[in-house]
Structure 1
Amino acid sequence: MQKESSSEWPLIDAYGICRQTILPLYRQPTFDSALVSQLLFGECYQINGLTSDRQWFRVYHEDTGMGGWVWAKLIKEITGEEYRKFLNQDFQIVTSPIAAIEYLGTNLYLLPGSRLHFSELELFNWQDHIGFTGNYRPHAVRAYREELIEIGLRYLNAPFQAGGRSIFGLDEELGFSLIFAIAGYAWISGKIPGKSVSPEEAIPGDLFVFRDLEKQESHFGLFLGAEEILWMDNKMKVSDLDEWEDFLRNNTGEQVVFDARSILG
C-alpha cells in the first residue's frame, strides 16, 4: 500500500487530457483514499500540484468544479493552447452505453459522456479512416426534453458508487450532472443551473432536488411525467413519486427543503 505524501509542490500552466476509458480522482494521493470523481475519455483538466516524489498529481476539472489526485502514470499532458482549444471548440459527446474507437493500434471502449474533439464533418471523415463504433451528439446543440430523458434512462440500474461517473458505478449528484452535461447543459458542483418552478408547474425533464439541511446532503430526481421519476437508491431506478417521497421521509431529517428546477427552460 502506497503511503500518502506529506509535501506538495505547486504547478502553474500545466494541463492534461484523459486518454483512457475512466480516470479516477482520489481525495488524497494514495490508492486507498476515497474516490472523489472520475474523468472520461477526452475530458481536459488543469494540473496544479504534485507530490515531492512525483508519483501523484493534483488536478482540477473545470467543467464540473471537481478536483483530486491522479497517479502520475495516468497523466497525459497537453499544452495550454490545446487545453483552451479543446474546451472552447465544438466537440462530440458519446451517448452510447458503450462505444469504441481505434486508439494507439487497439480498441478503446468509451462510456457515455466521453468526448471526441472533432466537428461533425471532421468526425465523419475520422470515422472512415480511424474507426469509431457508437452514437454521439454535438455538445454545442442542447437537447430537447425527450432526448434528455432518453439520456437519463440509459443509466437505469447503474449501481451507486460514491464519486462514480459511469454506468458501472454512479454517484448521485455527479450522475445527474453528467446526464445534463451530455445533453449540453453545464452543471458545476454545488451550482445547479436553471430556475425554480412550483411542483405543480413541473414538466417532464425538470429536476427535483431534496436538500437535507441537517445532514447537509441533497437527493435528486429527474421528473419523467405521469407521476414517475428517475432517482438513485442503491441503483438508478424509475418509480412513482410516492415511492421516492417515502424513501426521502425515511432517510432524511426534519429540516428539509424541496426545489423543482427547470434547467431546459
Structure 2
Amino acid sequence: MQKEKSGEWPLIDAFGICRQTILPLYRRPTFDSAQVTQLLFGECYQTTAMTPDRQWFKILHEDTGLQGWIAGRALKEIPQTDYYKYLNTDFQIVTSPIAAIEYLGTNLYLLPGSRLHFSDLELFNWQDNIGFTGAVRSHALRADRKELIDIAINYVNAPFQAGGRSIVGLDGRQGFELIFGIAGYSWKSGEIPGRKIEPELILPGDLFIFRELERKQVNYALYLGADEVFWMDNRIKVTDLSEWEAFLRSSRDKQVELETRMIIS
C-alpha cells in the first residue's frame, strides 16, 4: 500500500549490494537532489521504499544508518540470507588508494573502504582466483594506531564533498567514520565509539572533536603525533596543531565544546 501523500511504496525484506565503484544516495528521488552519502563496492543495504514507477528505490545503509534514494537501474538485489551473512562474517576491505577487480568480464576500479566478501580462512587464494590487484586487510582485525594513521594518510588532499566517502570527494564527518571503519572500528553516523580522555593524555590515533553548538557543526582532527593533526579545511590536510587551533578560534559560534576521544585502546 502506498504511503499517504508521500509518493512512496513501502518495501519489506528487500536487500541489495553495491556493485559499482561509487553509488550515490540522494535526499529525494531525483538526480538534482542533495547527496546524503555514498556506498562503495561490496557494501550492503536494505530497500525500504520505491516510487510508484519503480524508477527510484529508497535504501538504508546498514553501516552508517543513513537513508537515501538510488536510481532503479543501480539496484542489485541479493537474498536475505546473503545480506546477513555479508554483515556478520569477516570480509576483506580495500586499503590501497586504488585497486582493481575483474568483474563481469572487465576491470572495475575500487576505492578504499570497498569490500570483498572473502575471509582469511578461505581454502583457496581468493586474490588469484578473482583477478584482484591492490591492498586489503581483514575487517575482523582492528588496526593499531600506526595502521590507522597509514589508512588516513591516503586521504590527504581529498577535497570536501557533502556526503562524499572517497579520495575524490570526502565529507567532513563521514570521512572520519569511513577511515575508522576501514580500520575495523564500527562508527555509525552520530555515534562516536571509544571514550573521552583528558587532552594531555592524547596519543597518535586519538581524536579532537570541536562542536559549534549553535550551528550544530562538528569538526574532527586526528592527532598524528609530534603536534601534527589531520583535518578537513575544504580539503584534507596535515598541519601543525597550532594551525587547527587558529581555525577553531575563527568560529563565530558563542557556544563551543572541545572533546578529546580515544577510540583505539
Fold in common (TM above 0.5): yes
* Interval of TM-score (by shorter of Structure 1 and Structure 2): over 0.9
Partner of 1:24: 24
Aligned partners of 1:129 and 1:141: how far apart in 2? 23
Alignment map for 1:83-122 (pairs within 5 Å): 83-122=83-122
Partner of 1:146: 146
Partner of 2:193: 193
Distance 1:111 1:123, change over 3 A: farther
What residue identity is the alignment partner of 2:177? S
| Runs of 4+ residues deviating >4 angstroms | none
Cα-to-partner distance string for 1:94-138 (whole Å, 9 max, x where unaligned): 001000000000000000000000012439622222200000000
Partner of 2:171: 171
Shift of 1:47: 0.4
Partner of 1:204: 204
What residue identity is the alignment partner of 1:11? L
Aligned partners of 1:187 and 1:55: how far apart in 2? 31
Aligned partners of 1:234 and 1:123: how far apart in 2? 45
Distance 1:12 1:238, change over 3 A: same
TM-score (norm 2): 0.96
Aligned partners of 2:47 and 2:109: how far apart in 1? 25
CA RMSD of aligned residues (A): 1.2
Aligned partners of 1:123 and 1:251: how far apart in 2? 55
Deviates more, 1:208-217 or 1:126-135: 126-135
Partner of 2:50: 50
Aligned partners of 2:40 and 2:53: how far apart in 1? 26
Partner of 1:156: 156
Q: Which secondary structure does the structure 2 equivalent of 1:11 belong to? A: strand
Cα-to-partner distance string for 1:53-100 (whole Å, 9 max, x where unaligned): 111000001111111000000010001101000000100000010000
Q: Which secondary structure does the structure 1 equivalent of 2:149 belong to? A: helix
Aligned partners of 2:244 and 2:261: how far apart in 1? 17
Q: Percent of pairs identical after alignment?
A: 66
Distance 1:124 1:169, change over 3 A: farther
What residue identity is the alignment partner of 1:235? R
Alignment map for 1:125-144 (pairs within 5 Å): 125-144=125-144
Distance 1:109 1:228, change over 3 A: same
Cα-to-partner distance string for 1:4-28 (whole Å, 9 max, x where unaligned): x950000000000000000000011
What residue identity is the alignment partner of 2:14? A
Aligned partners of 2:183 and 2:80: how far apart in 1? 27
Q: Which secondary structure does the structure 1 equivalent of 2:249 belong to? A: helix
Q: Work out whether 1:40 is the aligned partner of 2:69.
A: no
Partner of 1:241: 241
TM-score (norm 1): 0.96
Aligned partners of 2:177 and 2:251: how far apart in 1? 22
Aligned partners of 1:89 and 1:258: how far apart in 2? 36
What residue identity is the alignment partner of 1:215? R
Distance 1:123 1:23, change over 3 A: farther
Shift of 1:39: 0.2
Q: Which secondary structure does the structure 2 equivalent of 1:112 belong to? A: coil
Q: Give the total of aligned pairs.
A: 261
Aligned partners of 1:91 and 1:105: how far apart in 2? 23
- Structure 1 runs not aligned, ≥5 long: none
What residue identity is the alignment partner of 2:39? L
Aligned partners of 1:97 and 1:227: how far apart in 2? 26
